[in-house]
Structures are given as structure tokens and as C-alpha cells.
Structure 1
Amino acid sequence: MGLEQEVEVLRRIPLFQNIEPSKLKLMAFASERVTFADGAALFDQGEEGDAAYIVLEGTADVRVTADSGEPITVAQVASNDIVGEIAILCNVPRTATVVATSELVTLKITKELFFRMVQDFPQIGIEVMRVLAHRLETTTRQLRAARGG
């Protein structure tokens, strides 16, 4: 996949839909393509977050370690999804472990690049809030269901 294809993938991600292609090309050029083998972890819960990952191809599980020590899969990610942004936005340890469930091709967006994009394009900040609010609503609904409420 070349730079033009990466830009096309970025354009399909809600976060970046309203960003002009020339800016997306700059972002794709400034980011690092990282491939993970099936079963490899992108990052582990509790680690310091230094980057977010945009999934270009493949799938991965988002796992949270329960109090019992058992990992619980709380979500799956696939093409056009972004993971790892919470740790870089909030400056907190990783809130989950993400493990590839197939060969996974990603664009690694460093904290510095991510914040530069948000500063240059406030629309990205709005979309990040929308994505995080949706995740919070989903998590809250699942928690209510798990508690029988």
C-alpha cells in the first residue's frame, strides 16, 4: 500500500473525513507504517502511551484485565478504526491491551503528530470527542446490563 492508498484509508475514517487530502498526505508521510503478526500486542494495559494506531488492514481485540486477572475482550477493531488515543490525549497509562487477531497493518501516529493535527484542524478534536463519547455510552450501557440494571 502506497502513500495514495494510505490517504484514501485516512479519508474513510470519520476522524479525518473533513481534512483536505494534501494535509492527510502530510500526516500519512509523517506517520510510521507498522505491521503486527497475528497474536502480537500493539500495546499492553498499564504502559505509557506514546502513539495511537490507525488500522489499515486486519483485525485486533481490545482486552481489559479484570480484577481476577483474566483478560476480557471488550471490543474488536478493524480497518479504519483508531486505537490508543485515550492514553495520549489524557496522559494516562494504556487503558487496555490491544492484540492482533490477524496480520495487522497500522499507521502509528505519534503523540506529537496527533496533537499537531488537532491544533491545525479543530474538526479532528470534535471528532475525537464524538468517538470517545460513543465509547463511553457503549461502556456505560454494557456496565448497566452486566449489573442487571
Structure 2
Amino acid sequence: MQYAEAFAVIRRIPIFRALSPGDQKLLAFSSAYLVFEAGEALFHEGDPTDSAYLVDDGLVEVCLHRGAEEIVLGQLGKNELVGEMGIIRNSPRSATVRAVGTVKVLRIDADVFLHAVTSNPDAALGVMRHLSDKIAAITQRYEAIKRHASGWEMPEIVEC
């Protein structure tokens, strides 16, 4: 992927639209365009958090592992950001994220991501809204699974 294409991808993402063109260019210049094949992990639960990923094409699924059991929390697709929670919390990865089919992503280093979103109040607010939406979706999914487990109803699929 060329720099101009990476810049165009970054400009499509709502939380990055608030950034100055210079910060958008820094993100584009310092990003790596990667391709993952079906089943391949972008990262694993417990890994150090060194980057965020912006999905340009395809789907990824977010999974938790408890012993031998795997719980799929949801799927993320085009223009979705994944991995940013660990950067903001300065903690290891809280889930495994893997490709569902071929996935094309922009990998943004943690330091560059943090600089971009903390240097602009509108971008910081965008990240807070984005994270709040993710937490709300995960909470809905958890409640649906809990109701299903107790025999109340079948869980609905909620995208993260």
C-alpha cells in the first residue's frame, strides 16, 4: 500500500477525522499495511500491546479463551479499530483477534496512536465515544449470553 492510500484509509475513520492533516499524515507514514489469512491471529490474549489495527478490508473476530473453551465476543469489519483498548489502558491484550477470511489492516504503533489521540481534544473525545460504544456492545453480548445460559432466550449477535 502506498502512503497516499494509507492516508485515505485514515481519513475515513471518524475518530481520526478530528486530527490535523499533519497528524493524519504521521499516522499514514508510520503505519504498516498487513494482510492476514483466515484463522491467522493479529494478536493473542495476554500479548504486550504494541499497536492498534485499523481494518481496511475483511472481518476479524474477537475471542476470549478460558482453559480449552473459546468465547467469540463479536466481529469487527471495515473501518473498525481494534487493539486500542490495551494502548489506552497500558495493559496486555485482553482478547485474541483473528482473521475471518482474508483481512487487510493498517498497523499503527502504540506511541504514534497515543500521540495522535492525546494531542487533539476532539480526537480524544472520539476515542472515548468509540470505546464507550464497544463496552456497550460487549455488555449487550454478555447479557444475551447470560440470558441464554439461564434458559431465557437465544443470544442475539452483536457486533463489537
Give the TM-score normalised by structure 2.
0.83
Aligned-pair distance for 1:31?
1.4
**2:102 is matched with which residue?**
103
**2:133 is matched with which residue?**
134
- Which whole-Å deviations, capped at 9, do the CAs of 1:12-45 have from their partners, x for residues lacking one? 2111122244431221011122222222100001
Q: 1:6-85 residue pairs with structure 2 within 5 A? A: 6-65=6-65, 67=66, 69-85=68-84
Q: Report if the CA contact (8 A) 2:87-2:110 is conserved.
A: yes
RMSD over aligned Cα atoms:
1.8
Q: Report if the CA contact (8 A) 2:30-2:109 is conserved.
A: no
Give the TM-score normalised by structure 1.
0.88
SS at match of 1:54: strand
Q: Are 1:89 and 2:88 counterparts? A: yes
Aligned-pair distance for 1:46?
1.3
Q: Report if the CA contact (8 A) 1:13-1:80 is conserved.
A: yes
Q: Report if the CA contact (8 A) 2:18-2:120 is conserved.
A: no
- C-alpha distance in 1 between matches for 2:119 and 2:36: 30
When structure 1 is superposed on structure 2, of 16-25 and 116-125 the one drifting more is: 16-25
- C-alpha distance in 2 between matches for 1:106 and 1:50: 15
**2:156 is matched with which residue?**
none
Change in CA separation of 1:104 and 1:142 when aligned onto 2, cut-off 3 Å: closer
Which sections of structure 1, spanning at least 5 residues, go unmatched?
none
- C-alpha distance in 1 between matches for 2:107 and 2:140: 30
Q: How many residue pairs align between the two structures?
A: 148
- C-alpha distance in 2 between matches for 1:137 and 1:119: 23
Q: Report if the CA contact (8 A) 1:6-1:56 is conserved.
A: no
- C-alpha distance in 2 between matches for 1:119 and 1:130: 14
- Which whole-Å deviations, capped at 9, do the CAs of 1:111-145 have from their partners, x for residues lacking one? 11011112322222111111111111122222233
Which sections of structure 2, spanning at least 5 residues, go unmatched?
153-160
SS at match of 1:103: strand
- Which whole-Å deviations, capped at 9, do the CAs of 1:85-134 have from their partners, x for residues lacking one? 11111012211101111222211111110111123222221111111111
- C-alpha distance in 2 between matches for 1:107 and 1:93: 20
SS at match of 2:38: coil
